[in-house]
Amino acid sequence: MLPIYNVPDAQVSILKRRMVGERAYPERLLAGVERIFGEGVTPEQAVKRILESVRLEGDEALRRWSEKIDGVKLDSFRVPASSFAEAMGSLPPRLIEALRTAAERIRSFHRRQPIPSWEENGLGQRFTPVERVGVYVPGGSAPLPSSLLMSVIPAQVAGVEEIIVCTPPEPHPAILAAAAICGVESVYRLGGAQAIAAMAFGTESLPKVDKIVGAGNVFVTLAKKQVYGLVGLDGLAGPTETMVIADATANPDWVAADLLAQAEHDPLATAILLTPDLALAKAVQQAVERQLPRLSRREIIRQSLESNGGIVLVRDLDEAARLADEFAPEHLCLSVAEPRPLMDKIRNAGGFFLGEYSFEVLGDYVAGPSHVMPTSGTARFASPLNVYDFLKISSVIGLEPSLARELSAVSAEIAHAEGLTAHAAAAELRLGGAPLPTE
């Protein structure tokens, strides 16, 4: 059963934030690492070994790791053009239409983001898109065509020239259909850390990218962390999370369904309800127990709820807002009578879902904003994936001579204060003044 906590107990358990990678790895995961890499090898060490081998050996290392980890022998990595048409033809028309609708809404939303290049009085800024982007699309226990749409479309709106997608072999037809709908032709059958390595370093078959985006499993996250600096990143995705704030007006069956939907992602996923209403808390508990047995991923959900989920009884909605602000959840669902005033009290959340009809699953698929959102409390300083993630700002300085001379004197004064005489001399030469320093 979904446990009920008081606030002090919740703050030292389910509301306590951990650093990315601090969570204990499941025993099954550690056993798999040891089986492939040898006794005593940690996930971090395994990822480092994969990255280094791909950097040195290129495609040969990719083939070796794909066979060893995924059990697939690959002669070539790129998905052939014919596979996209086959995928489109193999799926139900209603699914194709749903993917098209989602793509249209995602594109429409991101087109509203302004890209304000400007120049005035000799100063300005210029926005230019990143040249080549790599998108990782999970495809293991749950293939996610929605993640392809949510990552690729903002990059296209930004004007990225080349987008490549990596997804584990063998790609689900829905992922290939989503790529076709977006017009992406460069899809590679590579998963896990080896995919991140291929995009970061480049190989004989894959070009090196400038930035990698998209969430994945723990090995994808560890690999992204280790290649940061060589390439740009959208962030380090921790396990997904939803926090619901609900009052007595909320429908307990709907609240339960929203918590269960989040928990089915991963045994490490977090689903938390904050409520001042004990009767609602108990009703949600009971609804979770009723709904869980009929769900296909019920064992994953059960593990998630037992390890990371729960209901927190708060004094009032103001206390719920304070706790939510401290937790900075990826998704914050406000299932209350007046959601907007409550939202105004909260600064930190990847996405706000206002009212019970704006539920988080709509955000996962079709509402419009990207569902790639900051996790692990990083909503305190990070944003959902958006057009700006694929743009660079360059400062533009083109001053008129009269203003340059005026500012040269100011610059020289500051340079002398810093003891940087070469800086001062470069400015003073523009004044026709002091000679080069002799000491």
CATH 3.40.50.1980 occupies which residues in the chain?
4-14+239-381, 81-235
Q: Which of 241, 331, 356, 428 is catalytic?
A: 331
Q: Estimate the crossing angle of helix 192-201 against helix 218-227, to 10 degrees.
A: 20
Pairing verdict, β 331-335 and 4-6: unpaired
Half-sphere exposure of 15 (CA within 13 A, CB side): 25
CATH of 4-14+239-381, one of 3.40.30.10, 1.10.287.610, 3.40.50.1980, 1.10.357.10: 3.40.50.1980
Instruction: Tell me which amino acid residue 310 is.
Output: G
Closest CA to 51 of 250, 223, 173: 223
The pTM of this model reads 0.91
pLDDT, residue 238, reads 81
d(CA 114, CA 418) in angstroms, rounded, equals 39
331 is catalytic: yes
Q: Is 110 a catalytic residue?
A: no
Report the pLDDT value the prediction gives residue 34, as an integer from 0 to 100: 86
- What phi and psi, each to the nearest 5 degrees, are found at residue 435? -70, 170
Residue 350 three-state SS: coil
Per-block mean pLDDT, blocks of 10 residues, the chain (439 long): 93 84 72 87 93 97 94 93 95 97 98 91 94 92 90 97 95 96 96 96 97 92 94 89 97 98 91 98 97 95 94 98 97 98 97 97 96 94 96 94 93 96 94 57
Q: Which fold has domain 81-235?
A: Rossmann fold (3.40.50)
